[in-house]
Amino acid sequence: MKKQWLKLFAGVISFVLVLTACGGAKEEQKAADGKQNEELPPVELVWNFPLSAIPQDLATVQEAVNKITKEKINATVKLQAHTFADYNQKMNTIVASGEKYDVAWVANWNWDYLQNQSKGAFLELDDLIQQNAPDLLKSMPDFVWDAAKIQGKIYAIPNYQTVTKKEGFVIQKRFADIYNLDVSSIKKFEDIEPFLKQIKEGESPDVVPFLNDKSGRFSLMYQSQGLEAINNVVGVELQNPDKPINLFETPQYKHYLDVMRDWYTKGYINENAATLKNKNDIIKTGNAAVQFHNVLKPGGEVEAKAANGGNDVIYVPITDAYASTGTVITTMQSISKNSKNPERAMMFINLLNTDKELYNAISYGVEGKHYKKVSDNVVQINKDGGYAPNANWVFGNTFNAYLVEGMDPSVMEQTKKENETAQKSPLMGFKFDNTPVMAEIANLATVIDEHLPGLDTGTVDPNTNLKVFQDKLKQAGIDKVIEEMAKQIEAWKQTK
């Protein structure tokens, strides 16, 4: 009997040993292929970033990237790409388990910058930037750096791109032409109504005069309403930026609801709006005649044309360019607190933002394989090449990128100009830490999910339902959130 047990035990042990042996062999190999150059010892950096899909041919690009980094900072970089959907969970697990990595992409809409900074995931970067990346500071305007600061310190380096937003309409050009839309007459969002009427009367029922969806349009028009949102419930009046208010109790919101209800009953809004999750399915058909959007950036019409099923669109902005904390910190690179080589990681981020060769290698891949050069500064992307991330804002300073064929060459200049001349938010740099009111935030989210889609799309009557919505928000503890925010704004002003 005993002997049998010993046998079994031995069997299990040897099985486990085989498993561990399988995993271990890999790492030694990598350390071996470094060559000595300069006085810097060779290191390997690990970089986590998200993309729409993990590219098939990442290995070739990694090789190309490493050739450049090896020569310039004697470091190799391991590219760890994730998808946008997985990124938050993946990074949370990696950080919580203490797994080693050096650089990670971070933002305010995915793997939250503030939350993870307060967890202590990031290294403070001010000194590292001074020592290792002096050019970096000069490559971006000051307000961009202000936006990235948490309690006066920089914890992540923004990837410089469009840092502004501009609200307005995206209109199908063919309809604008047919009905002779006078673009200069549109100053407020209500001004589009006569045009919607013409479309409703003149076009087939398949055409949606004004596209709306589950999330409503009010959250896209804060700026034109003289508001700035700090989270999805609480914001400030731009006239009075020290006093947080409930966005859903503003007269602007009531007015918006009345207009939407009117449009909905007249049939200008798609009937399924309150349940529509993915509006792109409608946009793709080119049947969305008028959309409201909050990021009308220079040259965006080209991208919008592709999204609208190849139909030409025109932009009709109703505000000027505007920059706030939220528009800047949408894409950044951070360095892990557990990084063994923070200096080298900083040099690498510096290269990403200043070295055109490296930046274009990571953005577009290898020449000849993943893209073709049409002229000196213009590339044509090979969609079947196995590497077409099509999101160069994930990697670094987008002003260093080659132009993609079909893009207007003046776009970069215009973007830069808008960035520099944009109206700046009075709360630039302020970030709301919601940890003290977590429970309230969760309750509010539930209330919003329940009531907002119906109201914001005009599907239900605001006269009876808005009051219910506001009362429920009160019960869910919105006042506590407002109070907390007022406190934090006060404290933030002290540190400035």
Partner 1 sequence: MSTIQVTINKKAAKSSLASKKSSWSSRIINLFFCALSILLIIPLILVISISFTDEKTLLQHGYHLLPEKFSLEAYSLIFKSPGVLLNAYGITILVTVIGTVIGLFLTSLTAYTISRKDYRYRKPMTLYVFFTTLFSGGLVPFYIMVTQYLHLKDTMWALIVPYLLSPFYILVMKGFLDKIPLEVIESGKIDGASEWRIFFTIVLPLSLPALVTIGLFISFQYWNDWWLGLLFIDDQKLVPLQLMLYRVMSTIEYLSNNMSTVNVSIDMTQFPSLSARMAMAVLAAGPMMIVFPMLQRFFISGLTVGSVKG
391-427: b or e for each residue (b if 16 or more CB lie within 10 Å)?
ebebbbbbbbbbbbeebeeebbeebeebbeebeebeb
Strand partners, 105: 333
Query: Would you say 316 and 300 are in contact if contact means Cβ atoms under 8 Å apart?
Result: no
Query: Would you say 149 and 430 are in contact if contact means Cβ atoms under 8 Å apart?
Result: no
**391 is a site residue for partner 1 (CB under 8 A):** yes
3-state helix, strand and coil shares in percent for the chain, rounded to the nearest 5: 50, 20, 30
Minimum CB separation from partner 1 for residue 471, in Å? 26
Smallest Cα–Cα separation from 372: which of 409, 402, 412?
A: 402
- Which listed residue (14, 37, 89, 475) binds partner 1 by CB under 8 A? 89
Residue 300 vs 454, nearer CB to partner 1: 300
Tell me how long the chain is. Answer: 496
- Which listed residue (31, 306, 374, 439) binds partner 1 by CB under 8 A? 306
**37 is a site residue for partner 1 (CB under 8 A):** no
Largest interatomic CA distance in the chain:
94
**26 is a site residue for partner 1 (CB under 8 A):** yes
Distance CA 171, CA 175 (A): 8
**376 is a site residue for partner 1 (CB under 8 A):** no
**319 is a site residue for partner 1 (CB under 8 A):** no
Per CB under 8 A, contacts with partner 1 among 435-494 are: none
Query: Would you say 351 and 69 are in contact if contact means Cβ atoms under 8 Å apart?
Result: yes
- Which listed residue (37, 377, 390, 435) binds partner 1 by CB under 8 A? 390
**58 is a site residue for partner 1 (CB under 8 A):** yes
Residue 74 vs 161, nearer CB to partner 1: 161
* Close Cβ partners of 5 (under 8 Å, ≥ 6 residues apart): none
**28 is a site residue for partner 1 (CB under 8 A):** no
Segment lying near partner 1 (by CB under 8 A), choices 257-265, 297-305, 360-368, 487-495? 297-305
Smallest Cα–Cα separation from 440: which of 485, 395, 404?
A: 485
Phi, psi of 60 (to 5 degrees): -65, -40
Phi, psi of 489 (to 5 degrees): -65, -40
**38 is a site residue for partner 1 (CB under 8 A):** no
Q: At what angle do helices 478-495 and 462-475 cross, to 10 degrees?
A: 70
Per CB under 8 A, contacts with partner 1 among 321-350 are: 327, 330-331
- Which listed residue (68, 301, 317, 393) binds partner 1 by CB under 8 A? 393
**206 is a site residue for partner 1 (CB under 8 A):** yes
**54 is a site residue for partner 1 (CB under 8 A):** yes
- Which listed residue (38, 63, 99, 490) binds partner 1 by CB under 8 A? 99
**53 is a site residue for partner 1 (CB under 8 A):** yes
Minimum CB separation from partner 1 for residue 115, in Å? 16
**31 is a site residue for partner 1 (CB under 8 A):** no
Query: Would you say 87 and 118 are in contact if contact means Cβ atoms under 8 Å apart?
Result: no
- Which listed residue (13, 85, 137, 178) binds partner 1 by CB under 8 A? 85
Per-residue DSSP letters for 141-177? -HHHHHHHEETTEE-EEE--S---BB-EEEEEHHHHH
- Which listed residue (98, 120, 205, 251) binds partner 1 by CB under 8 A? 98
Query: Would you say 358 and 384 are in contact if contact means Cβ atoms under 8 Å apart?
Result: no
**294 is a site residue for partner 1 (CB under 8 A):** yes
Report the amino acid identity of residue 401: A
- Which listed residue (67, 84, 341, 366) binds partner 1 by CB under 8 A? 84
**10 is a site residue for partner 1 (CB under 8 A):** no
- Which listed residue (37, 93, 185, 463) binds partner 1 by CB under 8 A? 93
Q: Which residues bind partner 1 (CB under 8 A)?
A: 1, 4, 7-8, 19-20, 22-24, 26, 52-54, 56, 58, 80-81, 83-86, 89-90, 93, 96-99, 107, 109-110, 161-165, 206, 215, 219-220, 277-282, 284-285, 287, 294-295, 297, 300, 303, 306-307, 327, 330-331, 384, 388, 390-391, 393
